[in-house]
Structure 1
Amino acid sequence: MREYSNLAWPGTPYGGSRRPFPRQRRLLTGFAVQWADDGENAVPLAAAAVFLSVHRTAVTVLDPATADAGYRVVVADGDLESSGVVDVVDQVLVQARRHSAGIGWHSYPDDAHALAARAVGRTPGITAVAEAWTDRTVCDRGTAQLTDTADDLGLTGRPVPLVAAEHNLRCPVGPGGLLTPPALQELYETNTPAKAAEDYGSSALVQALTVTLLAGHARELLSWPDGFNVGQLAATLAWDHFPTAFNTAPTAAAAQ
């Protein structure tokens, strides 16, 4: 399994002195999984978690020139490694549920069901968050607020790029941006995982970053200037890990 991160301690992003952000700020966490179909089941190709610093009481206004975030991306090298992707997602969710400022996901119940089906062994993080997801208006003491960007922004069922566009974010679509399900399926069927790893990983990162921003907006923790380009921010953060993918010109926000 391939792993990419800009964190010094990707396994413990919320861990006290190891955190790459000031103590007085909290980390909002957004997730994304990229999927294909093997003819019988959904296969997780890649997953990403993004960690964005937010203030406890004030709205953080993002500046396109200086915005920063941490990320962790994992990509399976073949179907046999897909359970490893599930393991990483579960590990981060266990920590995020207790230590993050909030968790954002687009259509979490669908992904949670497919992740659990692909797991080998217990999934305490995925299971606990799935149970709490049924009523996101309730936030138990010591747990993160939950935001489903497919439902909680008044645009139920719309894909990520369209939700982003409605909130003045540009989420690029295509190579170097967010890949559509048909594009992911085509890559899965026609390329070896090693050749497609950059595309899977960069797409997961762009989606997770977009979801993080939208979740922050829904919780009145983040704002940005009109036309804030998520693809450009993703490229700035991760060009060294995905040089081929981010050396492309994806289309503007659109969904298929």
Structure 2
Amino acid sequence: MKDATNLLWAASPFGSVTNPWHKPSTWLSAVSLLWGEADGEPVLMGAGTVFMKIHRTRSLPFSAPLAAFGYRVLVPDAMGQTRAIVDAIDNVVVQARRQAQIIAWHNGADDLHVLRQLPRSADEPRHGGVDAVAAAWKDRGSRSPSTARCVDTSHDLGPAGLISETAAAHDLEPLKSFAGGQQQASAQAACEALADGRTEDFAPEALVGSVLSSAVTTALLGGKYAGRLHWEGTLSVYDVLEQVAWEAAPSLLGGVAAARSE
């Protein structure tokens, strides 16, 4: 399984993977998943989590030149790794539910439902973090003061639909290569290539760029909905990623890398 964390996290100012939050309730955590399907079963083709610092009570300005956030990206390099990726997601949401102020997810109920329905053997424990967040997602209007606020950037913010459509409606310019139905189509194509052993057609960097762009977009939209982030004019998600996370997918976000090498 390709784990971009160790390479990328070293460039993040926000601490370690196991404890990205310096102070409770001053962080927004966003989750994004990419799904494929093989033999009638869902296959996780990517998981991205973003940890973005916010203020407890007021909205902070956000711009690409001053962007900063922590992140983790996981994509498979073989079939049969969905369970391992779910384990990593569960660890993140366990901490986020207790230590972040906000958890943002686009169409979170759908992802959480699929995560809970994934097959498991009798001796495999359930994922406590996924179960707890799934229960909280049903009643996002109320929460315990000790747990994160849940924001669904599709249904709470709207318009409901694809992440690129919601982004465009709220002055965020999505990555054109993953807008509309292209994101799902590319994830399914990658899944089929992986299942068939066509390594020449499997591009993990494209999966990383796709799921990370969705996670960053979800974080920004969640921050806007909650009144914790705002930006002037139209904000380019590409510019944000190029500034902070170009190492995640240098063939897609290589502008900064190219500039540094000159």
Normalised by the length of structure 2, the TM-score is 0.85
Query: More displaced, 229-238 or 141-150?
Result: 229-238
Q: What residue is the counterpart of 1:168 in the other structure?
A: 171
Task: Please tell me the residue identity of whatever aligns with 2:157.
Answer: L
For residues 199-240 of structure 1, give each alpha carbon's deviation from its aligned partner in whole angstroms, at most 9, with x where no partner exists: 111111000000000001110111011110112211222212
The one-character-per-residue Cα deviations of 1:118-149 (angstroms, maximum 9, x if unpaired) are: 36531101100001111100011200000001
Assess if the C-alpha contact under 8 Å between 1:77 and 1:194 holds in 2: no
The one-letter amino acid of 2:64's match is P
Aligned partners of 2:24 and 2:47: how far apart in 1? 28
| Residue 195 of structure 1, CA deviation | 4.0
Q: Of 116, 130, 133, which aligns to 2:134?
A: 130
Matched, 1:235 2:242: yes
Contact 1:171 1:177 in 2 (8 A): no
* 1:150-173 C-alpha deviation (Å, 9 max, x unpaired): 1001312x1111111111111113
Q: 1:197 to 1:180 in 2, by over 3 A?
A: same
Amino acid at match of 1:240: E
1:24–1:56 CA contact under 8 A, matched in 2: no
User: Are the aligned partners of 1:176 and 1:199 in contact in 2 as well (CA < 8 Å)?
Assistant: no
Letter of the structure 2 residue corresponding to residue 155 of structure 1: P
Match for 1:152 among 149, 153, 156?
156
Unaligned 5+ segments in structure 2 are 256-262
- 1:106: which partner in 2? 106
In the alignment, which residue of structure 2 is the partner of 1:142? 146
Change (3 A) 1:193 1:203: farther
The change in CA–CA distance for 1:184 and 1:193 in structure 2 (over 3 A counts) is farther
Q: Which amino acid aligns with 1:90?
A: D
- Cα deviation 1:52-84 (Å, max 9, x = unaligned): 111112210112211111101111222211111
- Tell whether the 8 Å contact from 1:62 to 1:224 is kept in structure 2 after alignment: yes
Q: Is the 8 A contact 2:102 2:150 kept in 1?
A: yes
Residue 240 of structure 1: SS of its match in structure 2?
Answer: helix
| 2:63 aligned residue | 63
Partner of 1:79: 79
Query: Shift of residue 180 of structure 1?
Result: 1.6
Greater percentage in helix: 2
**1:114 deviation in Å?**
1.6
Q: Is the 8 A contact 1:176 1:246 kept in 2?
A: no
Question: In 2, are the aligned partners of 1:50 and 1:208 still within 8 Å (CA)?
Answer: yes
Q: What's the offset of the Cα at 1:96? A: 0.2
Q: Determine the C-alpha separation between the residues in 2 that align with 1:39 and 1:11.
A: 34
From 121, 124, 130, the equivalent of 2:125 is 121
Select 1:11's aligned residue among 2, 10, 18. Answer: 18
8 Å contact 1:176–1:203 — kept in the other structure?
no
- Aligned residue number for residue 258 of structure 2: none
- State the Cα distance separating 1:91 from its structure 2 match: 0.5
* CA distance in structure 2 between the partners assigned to 1:121 and 1:107 by the alignment: 25
**Could you tell me which of 215, 219, 222 is aligned with 1:215?**
222
Identity fraction in percent: 30
Number of matched residues? 240
- The 1:55–1:194 alpha-carbon spacing in structure 2 relative to 1, beyond 3 Å, is farther
1:187 equivalent in structure 2: 190
| TM-score between the two structures when normalised by the length of structure 1 | 0.86
1:225 corresponding residue in structure 2? 232
**Unpaired runs of at least 5, structure 1:** 249-256
Distance (whole Å) between structure 1 residues aligned to residue 116 and residue 253 of structure 2:
31
Conserved? CA contact 2:164–2:180, under 8 Å: no
- CA RMSD after TM alignment: 2.3
CA separation of 1:84/1:193 partners in 2, compared to 1, >3 Å: closer, same or farther? farther
